């Protein structure tokens, strides 16, 4: 989208949404009756078609400010009824914010506006968007979506996602862009609540606090998809753990579960803009490096057996994904099959995984 003049919010996003709710035509008339509830957003797997109207050209031009902008979300529910609701949109992210033409988006909702809709109960949600306008970026996004669903098979302590087909309409001239693939990520508070565990916000984590078997599931999953861009003991800032993982559980020994997210740097997704850390001494994101901890090696074998039992389901997940093109299915299936081969081979498992653990 080329930059053209548009509306840019000047106030606090929460106030912006409150003002929009009062003025939006969708809120004309009495609102005392509670609307009939639709199924919750992450209870379904089907792709949901959305239209998001906002000053997108202005948004892209000023993405580094992360300012909030007024917008409208429109969708058609399962009965065929059309819905429109006001919201605010803001740019988010770190690396993708820098390198992507169209950055990831935060959707910020008003409590009253989303009553009775699939979005009810959500203050805000992360929208994972196409990085560029080409087909490869669209397919990268689908492969990242599959990474989340693979981890859903491994443990319920994983982020649920909802695939979307999004048309972006610029509010300045009503010009549409799309539809594009996208997906929403479950809020971390809802993830914790769904698993009957508290969310932890701590600056650092002691290794002994990680639940051993779940830590092995986490590290073998990251090995399987070829991801090294995470940290579960420290964060990128001194006041908050972790990097590309959230923590849920009790702040006690062996009672903390790390939940991964952000897989665009993995070998499975293999985006053009991602490069491995020079510390790892690998030349490609598709090279697998085990980054689990030696202190959790006792549970690696149990996690390995679990994952090998899931191999048919994982590969079927890829082959049956309707949003992935034929070449993408073949490439992803081949990459994951080689990862499962590594787990199955006793000699390779001992050499490249158990012996390569981090002390």
Tell me what pLDDT residue 256 has.
98
Q: Report the alpha-carbon distance of residue 121 to residue 113 in Å, rounded.
A: 10
Kindly give the residue spans of alpha helices, DSSP state H, lying in the chain: 13-23, 56-61, 95-99, 135-154, 188-194, 212-225, 300-309, 311-319, 326-344, 346-352
138, part of any domain: no
pTM: 0.89
pLDDT given at position 39:
73
Task: Report yes or no on 19 lying in a domain.
Answer: yes
Name which residue leads in pLDDT, 265 or 15. 265
| CA 280 to chain CA centroid, nearest Å | 24
Task: Check whether residue 162 and residue 74 sit in a common domain.
Answer: yes
Q: Tell me whether residue 87 is in a domain.
A: yes
pLDDT value at 17 more than 60: no
Cis peptide before 37 (omega within 30 of 0): no
Residues 171 and 255 in one domain: no
Sheet holding 256-260, edge to edge: 199-200, 245-249, 256-260
Percentage of the chain exceeding pLDDT 90: 80
Instruction: Using the predicted structure, report yes or no on whether residue 292 has a pLDDT greater than 90.
Output: yes
Same domain, 209 and 341: yes
Query: What pLDDT digit, counting tens, does each position of 202-237 carry?
Result: 999 999 999 999 999 999 999 999 999 999 999 888
d(CA 188, CA 195): 11
Q: Which pLDDT belongs to residue 79?
A: 85
If one compares 104 and 35, the residue with the highest pLDDT of the two is 104
* 27 has a pLDDT exceeding 50: no
pLDDT at 36: 55
Name the residue among 50, 73, 51 with its Cα closest to residue 176. Answer: 51
CA distances from 52 to 15, 143, 180, 299 (A): 20, 23, 11, 45
**Torsion angle defined by CA atoms of residues 93, 94, 98 and 99, in that order, rounded to the nearest 10 degrees:** -80
Quote the radius of gyration of the chain (alpha carbons, Å).
21
Beta pairing, strands 256-260 & 176-185: unpaired
Query: Is residue 137 included in any domain, yes or no?
Result: no
178 neighbors 47 (Cβ within 8 angstroms): no
Residue 82 falls inside a structural domain: yes
Q: Which domain holds residue 303?
A: 196-356
What is d(CA 340, CA 346) in angstroms, rounded to the nearest whole number?
12
Distances (CA, A) of 38 to 33, 76, 185, 211: 15, 11, 18, 36
Q: Is position 150 within any domain?
A: no
User: What share of the chain has pLDDT > 70, as a percent?
Assistant: 89
Indicate the number of domains in the chain. Answer: 2
Q: Over the stretch 107-159, which tens digit does the pLDDT of each residue have?
A: 999 999 999 999 999 999 999 999 998 999 999 999 999 999 999 999 999 99
C-alpha span between 316 and 9 (Å, rounded): 45
Q: For the chain, what is the mean pLDDT?
A: 90
pLDDT score of 67: 86
The pLDDT of residue 10 is above 70: no
Kindly state whether residues 184 and 263 are assigned to the same domain. no
Report pLDDT for 278: 87
Last residue of a domain, which of 168, 188, 208? Answer: 188
CA angle 236, 238, 240 (to 5 degrees): 75
Give the pLDDT confidence score for residue 25 in this predicted structure. 38
What residues does 243 pair with on adjacent strands? 231
What are the tokens at 284?
């490609």
Phi, psi of 255 (to 5 degrees): -125, 10
CB count in 10 Å sphere of residue 88: 26
Q: What is the mean pLDDT of residues 2-15?
A: 38
Dump pLDDT digits (tens) for 316-337.
999 999 999 999 999 999 999 9
The per-residue b/e assignment along 169-189, b for 16 or more CB within 10 angstroms, e otherwise, is: bbbeeeeebbbbbbbbbbbbe
153-198 pLDDT, tens digit each: 999 999 999 999 999 999 999 999 999 999 999 999 999 999 999 9
Residue 95 lies in a domain: yes
């Amino acid at each position: 989208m080329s930059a053209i003049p548009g509306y840019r919010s000047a106030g606090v996003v929460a106030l912006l949404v409150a003002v929009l709710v009062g003025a939006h035509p969708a809120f004309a008339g009495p609102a005392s009756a509670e609307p009939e509830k639709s199924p919750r957003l992450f209870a379904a797997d089907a792709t949901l078609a959305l239209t998001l109207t906002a000053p997108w050209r202005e948004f892209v031009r000023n993405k580094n400010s992360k300012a909030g902008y007024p917008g409208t979300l429109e969708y058609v529910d399962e009965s065929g009824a059309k819905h429109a609701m006001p919201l605010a949109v803001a740019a988010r992210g770190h690396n993708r914010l820098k390198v992507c033409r169209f950055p990831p988006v935060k959707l910020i909702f008003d409590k009253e506006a989303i009553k009775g809709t699939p979005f009810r109960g959500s203050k805000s949600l992360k929208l994972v968007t196409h990085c560029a306008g080409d087909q490869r970026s669209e397919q990268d996004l689908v492969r990242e979506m599959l990474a989340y669903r693979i981890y859903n098979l491994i443990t319920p302590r994983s982020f649920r996602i909802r695939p979307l087909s999004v048309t972006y309409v610029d509010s300045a001239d009503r010009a549409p862009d799309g539809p594009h693939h996208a997906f929403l990520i479950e809020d971390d508070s809802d993830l914790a609540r769904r698993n009957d565990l508290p969310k932890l916000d701590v600056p650092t984590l002691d290794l002994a606090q990680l639940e051993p078997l779940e830590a092995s599931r986490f590290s073998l999953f990251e090995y399987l998809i070829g991801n090294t861009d995470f940290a579960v003991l420290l964060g990128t800032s001194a006041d908050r753990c972790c990097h590309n993982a959230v923590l849920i559980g009790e702040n006690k020994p062996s009672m903390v579960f790390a939940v991964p997210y952000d897989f665009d740097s993995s070998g499975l997704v293999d985006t053009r803009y991602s490069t491995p850390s020079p510390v790892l001494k690998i030349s490609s994101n598709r090279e697998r490096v085990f980054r689990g901890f030696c202190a959790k090696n006792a549970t690696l074998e149990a996690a390995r057996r679990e994952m090998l039992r899931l191999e048919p389901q994982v590969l079927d997940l890829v082959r049956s994904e309707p949003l992935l093109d034929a070449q993408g299915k073949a490439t992803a299936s081949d990459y994951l099959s080689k990862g499962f081969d590594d787990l199955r081979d006793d000699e390779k498992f001992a050499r490249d995984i158990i012996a390569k653990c981090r002390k």
